[in-house]
Amino acid sequence: MHAVTYFAPEARTALDGLGFRGFWMGYFAARSAPFGVVPTEVVTAAARTQVASVLCESGLEGKVGATAHCDVDAGGVKLRRTVQVNSVEGLMMNFDVVPVLTKEEVASSLLDEFERQLGRRPDSAQCAGNLEGTAGNTVDCTVVTGSDTASFTLTVTTVSGGSINYSYAPRP
């Protein structure tokens, strides 16, 4: 079972696509996600080697649809990921690791986009929540420039290599 779960080409492809470059980064991220919130030393001891930290808000229950929200330190780069169980067969649990933009990252990205398009950066942006990297997911954001305020809905269009691409449209 171990080899099927961690060494399967599908698992490696999914983890590579979510920013876990190279076999070992993905392997340790997948292995440590069910631990929940634990010190790096626990992951290191379990793997018998030094790894980046993976801190999850909860363990990952072995039920289809169960999720765990994790913060990953990948070589000094902080990443937010959601792990979701998509099948359970006997002792084998298959899961997807979905990239997430925090609401602060979404706001910053939206400000950057407006600056590229308009040639000047709006004063601020606030978003209602995080944006999970699944096509069709949405989040509402408000952008402020001077005394003007505009509201937008951002919609995930594609996810590629751990990057979340989105479109935005004014909210009525």
- Please check whether residues 8 and 68 belong to one and the same domain: yes
pLDDT at residue 51 tops 50: no
Domain count across the chain:
2
Split at pLDDT 50, 70, 90, the class of 1 is: very low
Integer Cα distance of 163 and 153 in angstroms? 19
Among 82, 100, 118, the domain-final residue is 100
Point out the domain boundary residue: 78, 100, 122.
100
Q: Of 76, 100, 124, which residue constitutes the final position of a domain?
A: 100
pLDDT per position as a tens digit, 72-109: 776 666 778 888 888 888 878 888 888 899 999 999 99
**91 and 19 in one domain?**
yes
Closest CA to 50 of 70, 75, 82, 71: 75
Q: Which pLDDT belongs to residue 35?
A: 58
d(CA 155, CA 139): 7
pLDDT winner (highest mean) among 15-24, 87-96, 140-149? 140-149
Together in a domain, 25 and 96 = yes
CA atoms within 13 A on the CB side of 83: 30
Question: Full-prediction pTM beyond 0.75?
Answer: no
Is 54 in contact with 41 (CB distance < 8 Å)?
A: no
Structural domain boundaries, residue 90: 2-100
For 152-155, the CB contacts below 8 A with 24+ separation are: 152/110, 154/106, 154/110, 154/127
Mean pLDDT of 110-127: 93
Confidence of residue 163 (pLDDT cuts 50, 70, 90): confident
72 and 42 co-located in one domain? yes
> Average pLDDT, stretch 51-72?
81
Return d(Cα 120, Cα 67) in angstroms, integer. Answer: 39
Domain shared by 16 and 67, yes or no: yes
